[in-house]
Structure 1
Amino acid sequence: MTSIAIIGAGTGLGAAVARRFGAEGFTVGLISRHQGRLDALAAELAEDGVQAQGFAADVRDPSSLARALEQVTEALGPIEVLQYSPLPQKDFMRPVLETTPADLVGPVEFSIYGPVAAVHQVLPGMRFLGKDRGTILFVNGGSAVTPGRTVTGTSVAFAGQAAYAQLLHEVLGEEGIQVSQLIIGGRIISGDPEKDPDVLAGHLWDLHTKRDRFRHQVSAD
């Protein structure tokens, strides 16, 4: 049995993805900063028949993120799918003329250093699984493709993450490892036919199974 590790797991999209992949036989490693919330989410998922376990880590601390991913493998099986989808902090989103060099440290650590650390940790195991098995999924906001003057930190950092994902897609695709990104414009809203978490989880499942796609973009607004 293989696992999906969801970095930034919460009660919205993270839970929906856990249920979608869990229904297909994946065990689920839930990663965020708060162990108590992770334990509560794992218990909720268990009621739906999903085997999940929480592992606390801070995406701005590469060593803690690597440890959590190692623990997922040890507890739940090899990581076949990695999803990187933590929500950025509000203080990352400053107007461009008010953004100092120090203001960009957090967004870059969050959206670039974190993904790089996560990929380096899971890649050997994905290679061990064999060709056409591993998948790396990035989820970020519309400023990854259309920068916003009032959200400078995420605009800069998401664009860097998107570039990293594109490069990974080109290189790892040669090994049969799928790298894709889901870009969501606006808020995730339950009941919205485009942005409902269950619908978005379906898009991520399609990106995992339809291995020739790099990007799926939900309507930007």
Structure 2
Amino acid sequence: MTTFALVGAGPGLGLASARRFGAAGHTVALISRDAEKLDGLTAELARDNIQARGFTADVLDIESLTTALHAAAVALGPIEILQYSPVPRADFMKPVLDTSADDLDAPLAFSVKGTVTAVNAVLPGMRNLGRGTLLFVNGSSAVRPNPKVAGTSVAFAAESAYVGMLHDALAPENIHAAQLIVPGAIRPTSAHSSPDVLAQRLFDIHQQRDGFRHYSEPLPD
């Protein structure tokens, strides 16, 4: 049995993804800063007969994130699938003319250092398995810079560049890196961007392994 590790566990897309990959037979490692939230999510998954466990970590703290992912692999089994989809903080989203150099430190740490840390933590286990999937979820500013949200526009673009390089570099090792762009808000009633629809889309990307960048729906004009 292998593990689905979710960085950025929450009650929306995170829980839906955990359910989808758990239903396919994977154990589930939930990673978040909030231990109380993790307890609630693991209890919900247990009602669906999905084996899950929470691990507290902050993506801005490289050591805690590395420790959590290593602990998850030891406790639950080797990590075959990583989903990196923490929600950016509101203060990352200043207008471009109000953004200083210091304002970019946290967004870049969140989207780039956290991403690289998570990948480096799980990659040795995927190589031992001979397979793996690295899934990253971003908003539209990853591909269409938005001057109203400069921090995420810069940081998501950097994350996209890194994941694109991973896609090419790891394909010969049967490790698939992919990005899912969600142009708008994740809403339970959305035909294309509800948590359950996105979770199924991520599962399909994992199974089909058919490209780097995917969109939940076309970007608006």
**Above 0.5 in TM-score?**
yes
Provide TM-score, normalisation by structure 1.
0.98
- Which residue of structure 1 aligns with residue 6 of structure 2? 6
1:79-118 alignment to 2 at 5 Å? 79-118=79-118
Query: 2 CA distance for matches of 1:50 and 1:182?
Result: 25
Could you tell me how far 1:119 is from its partner in structure 2? Answer: 0.5
- Which residue of structure 2 aligns with residue 19 of structure 1? 19
Partner of 1:149, secondary structure, is coil
Could you tell me how far 1:215 is from its partner in structure 2? Answer: 1.5
Query: 2 CA distance for matches of 1:95 and 1:191?
Result: 29
Does the 8 Å CA contact 1:207/1:214 hold for their aligned counterparts? no
- Which residue of structure 2 aligns with residue 71 of structure 1? 71
Query: 1 CA distance for matches of 2:151 and 2:115?
Result: 16
Could you tell me which amino acid in structure 2 is paired with residue 175 of structure 1?
A: E
Query: 2 CA distance for matches of 1:164 and 1:174?
Result: 17
Match of 2:178 among 180, 186, 193: 180
Could you tell me which amino acid in structure 2 is paired with residue 85 of structure 1?
A: S
Could you tell me how far 1:68 is from its partner in structure 2? Answer: 0.2
User: Percent of pairs identical after alignment?
Assistant: 57
Provide TM-score, normalisation by structure 2.
0.98
Could you tell me how far 1:175 is from its partner in structure 2? Answer: 1.0
Runs (5+) with no aligned partner, structure 2: none
Could you tell me how far 1:79 is from its partner in structure 2? Answer: 0.2
Query: 2 CA distance for matches of 1:103 and 1:39?
Result: 33
Could you tell me which amino acid in structure 1 is paired with residue 122 of structure 2?
A: V
Could you tell me how far 1:174 is from its partner in structure 2? Answer: 1.4
Could you tell me how far 1:218 is from its partner in structure 2? Answer: 1.9
Does the 8 Å CA contact 1:2/1:78 hold for their aligned counterparts? yes
Could you tell me how far 1:164 is from its partner in structure 2? Answer: 0.4
Match of 2:195 among 194, 197, 200: 197
> Which aligned runs of 4 or more in structure 1 are off by greater than 3 angstroms?
none
Does the 8 Å CA contact 1:185/1:218 hold for their aligned counterparts? yes
Query: 2 CA distance for matches of 1:191 and 1:150?
Result: 26
Runs (5+) with no aligned partner, structure 1: none
Could you tell me how far 1:48 is from its partner in structure 2? Answer: 1.0
Could you tell me how far 1:91 is from its partner in structure 2? Answer: 0.2
What are the Cα deviations for residues 145-187 of structure 1, in whole angstroms up to 9, with x where unaligned? 0010110000000000000000000000111100001110110
Could you tell me how far 1:212 is from its partner in structure 2? Answer: 2.4
1:112-151 alignment to 2 at 5 Å? 112-130=112-130, 133-151=131-149
Query: 2 CA distance for matches of 1:50 and 1:190?
Result: 22
CA RMSD, Structure 1 to Structure 2 (Å): 0.7
Partner of 2:169, secondary structure, is helix
Could you tell me how far 1:211 is from its partner in structure 2? Answer: 1.3
What are the Cα deviations for residues 174-216 of structure 1, in whole angstroms up to 9, with x where unaligned? 1110000111011000021101110000110011001122121
Query: 2 CA distance for matches of 1:165 and 1:17?
Result: 20
Does the 8 Å CA contact 1:88/1:154 hold for their aligned counterparts? yes
Bigger shift: residues 71-80 or 211-220: 211-220
Partner of 2:168, secondary structure, is helix
Does residue 1:35 correspond to 2:35, yes or no?
yes
1:205-220 alignment to 2 at 5 Å? 205-219=203-217, 220=219
Could you tell me which amino acid in structure 1 is paired with residue 145 of structure 2?
A: P
Query: 1 CA distance for matches of 2:124 and 2:105?
Result: 28
Could you tell me how far 1:42 is from its partner in structure 2? Answer: 0.3
